[in-house]
Structure 1
Amino acid sequence: YFVEAGAIAVRRVRKEDLRHVAKATGATMVTTFADMEGEETFDPSFLGHADEVVEERISDDEIILVKGTKNTSAVSIILRGANDFMLDEIERSLHDALCIVKRTLESNTVVAGGGAVETALSVYLENLATTLGSREQLAIAEFAESLLIIPKVLAVNAAKDATDLVAKLRSCHHKAQTNADKQHLSRAWVLI
C-alpha cells in the first residue's frame, strides 16, 4: 500500500529514534488509530513536516535521511572511520566536544585554556620573585619556570613550535599584567 502511494514505510524503529524524528518534524507519536468508539481515525494535526525523506546507501548501510525538518536545530552526524575502534574513538571525542559546548552554554562562563592560566601565574610569580631578597626567590622562580611545562607540552602535542608560542604567550601576559598594574596605580593616584 505504501509503495503504491509513493510513501516510505519503515518498520522495527527504536522508540528513541521515533521520538527524535517526531521532535524534528513537529509530529506527534501515535501508538494506535483506534478512538474511544473503537473506530480507526487519524487527526491530521499529528503529522509533522519535512521537505524530503530519502533512503541512501552510506558505506554498507541503508539510511533514512529526513531533510528540511520543521525544527532546524535537530541534526544528525554520520561518522565514518577505518574500523570500529577508530569509530568508537571518534564518537567519544565528538561526545566530549558536544558536552563542552553544552556546559559552556549552560554556565555562561569560560576558563581560559591552552596553558594561559599557567603562563599568567608564571609571569606573576617571576615578577614576585624579583622583589624578594632571600632564598625564597630561587624557589619561587623555579616553580614559575616549572608552570611553563604545561603550555610547552600542549604546543608540542599540537605540532607547533613550542618555543615561539610560549614566548608570545609570556609576552602577552607580561604586557597585560604590567598594563593592569599601571591602571591600578593610576586609580590609586585618582583616589588620593
Structure 2
Amino acid sequence: MAQQQGPQQSVGTGLFLNGERETGQDVRTGNVTAALAIANICKSSLGPVGLDKMLVDDIGDVTITNDGATILKQLEVEHPAAKVLVELADLQDQEVGDGTTSVVIIASELLKRGNELVKQGIHPTTIISGFRMALKTAVQHIKKDLVVSVDKLGEENLINSAKTSMSSKILGPESAFFARMAVDAVKSVKMATLVNGKPGFKYPISAIHILKAHGKSSMESHMVNG
C-alpha cells in the first residue's frame, strides 16, 4: 500500500515562513507616516479653541470628546508604530491625567525630524543620543528657570491651572467646583522635605484616595480630611 508523502521541509534551515521581511528606509518612512496620521487626528483637538471629535463605533454609539486618550482608545489602530503612540497616550493619561494630545504630537514630530536626519546620512543611534542630550538640557532649564514655587503662585493661579486641565474632561462644565476641591486636596498632603539639599515641600499625590459612591450626583462630591 503506497503512502502519500507530506510537504518536504528543508533540513538545517528551519521552517519556511510564508511572509515578507522589510528593512531600511522604506520601513522607517512607513512608521513615521503612521505616527503622523495618528497625530493629525488629535492635532485639531489641542488648545483652548480645539475642536471636539464625534466618534461612531460599529454599533452606532456616538462619543463626542476632545480628550486625546479617549479619541485614540476609540480608534481601531493596526499599525505597530501607531499602536506605540496610542499606548504612549494611555500611559500619559494613567500617570499624569492630562497632556495626552500634546505627548502624541511631540512624539510624532520627533520621529518626523529624526527620519529627516536619517535621510541625510546620520546614524539613528547618534540621533537618539542627541534627543537624550536635548532632554537633559530641557529638564535642567525647566527646573532652573521655569519652575515656580506653589507659595508664590497663590490660590487663584492654582485653581486656574486645575480648571485648565479639566477643560477637556467630562467635569469641564463644573470645573470651578472640582478645581477648588483638587487644590484643597493636594494642599492637604503638603509635606516638608529637602529639595536639592534645600528646605522645601512635596505633595505626594499617592496620599490622596478617591472613593466612588454610585447613584449620586457628581456635584455631591466632597473632600474628607484625614
Pick the TM interval, shorter chain: under 0.3
From the CA coordinates, give the structure whose radius of gyration is larger: 1
Q: TM-score, length-normalised on structure 1?
A: 0.26
